[in-house]
């Protein structure tokens, strides 16, 4: 996947001291690609660096899931690490094309919002860019909104892209 950089963000309308380090959260989806593109465009316009993060949840278990055997967990973790590497490599290539310094981080065994917030704190980022899947009604109640959790708990600004 290639990310199209938004042209509506120009340096003439931005304060270059506004943000120094942007965290871009992505799950590799097309929707998250919008947050990647906007986050990278903003970083380029401001001359800041970025950290791209993807979070892998713990191996799924629950009341209706079988108890995972160690080999199932190992296969899950290997597949998750491979997918995370692909996602982050795509962001790193897009950042390099724009001349934006980009560090990548894969957080394992955490809920997405928790991993995003932990990475923000560890990296000292002063802005989080992420997508919102825009769930409504029952699906939002059942699945929760990771963007909403990040917004509620983040001590810094959150740029939510739809």
pLDDT averaged per 10 residues, the chain (length 162): 52 65 96 95 96 90 66 88 97 98 97 96 97 61 74 94 84
pLDDT at 4: 55
pLDDT at 137: 52
- State the burial class of residue 50 (Cβ atoms within 10 Å of its Cβ: 0-12, 13-18, 19+): buried
For the domain made up of 16-161, give the CATH fold.
Rossmann fold (3.40.50)
Residue 29 DSSP one-character state: -
pLDDT at 162: 80
Domain spans, the chain: 16-161
Coil vs helix vs strand at 108: strand
pLDDT at 144: 58
Contact 24, 49 (CB under 8 A): no
Q: At what angle do helices 146-153 and 112-123 cross, to 10 degrees?
A: 40
- State the burial class of residue 60 (Cβ atoms within 10 Å of its Cβ: 0-12, 13-18, 19+): exposed
Radius of gyration of the chain, Cα coordinates, nearest whole angstrom: 16
- Report the C-alpha gap between 129 and 120 in whole angstroms: 11
Closest CA to 118 of 145, 149, 159, 86: 149
pLDDT at 138: 53
pLDDT at 143: 45
pLDDT at 62: 59
Give Cβ neighbours of residue 18 (< 8 Å, ≥ 6 apart). Answer: 46
- Report the C-alpha gap between 4 and 132 in whole angstroms: 18
pLDDT at 95: 98
Q: In what order do the strands lie in the sheet with 127-131?
A: 102-108, 49-56, 21-25, 127-131, 157-161
């Amino acid at each position: 996947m290639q990310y199209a950089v938004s042209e509506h963000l120009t340096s003439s309308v931005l304060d270059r001291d506004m943000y120094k380090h942007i965290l871009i959260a992505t799950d590799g989806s097309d929707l998250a690609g919008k947050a990647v593109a906007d986050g990278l465009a903003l970083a380029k316009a401001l001359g800041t660096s970025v950290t791209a993060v993807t979070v892998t949840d713990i191996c799924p278990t629950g009341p209706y899931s079988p108890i995972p055997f160690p080999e199932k967990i190992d296969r899950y973790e290997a597949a998750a690490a491979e997918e995370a590497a692909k996602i982050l490599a795509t962001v790193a290539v897009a950042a390099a094309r724009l001349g934006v310094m980009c560090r990548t981080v894969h957080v394992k065994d955490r809920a997405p919002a928790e991993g995003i917030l932990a990475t923000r704190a560890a990296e000292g980022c002063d802005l989080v860019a992420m997508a919102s899947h825009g769930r409504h009604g029952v699906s939002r109640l059942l699945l929760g909104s990771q963007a909403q959790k990040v917004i509620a708990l983040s001590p810094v600004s959150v740029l939510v892209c739809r």
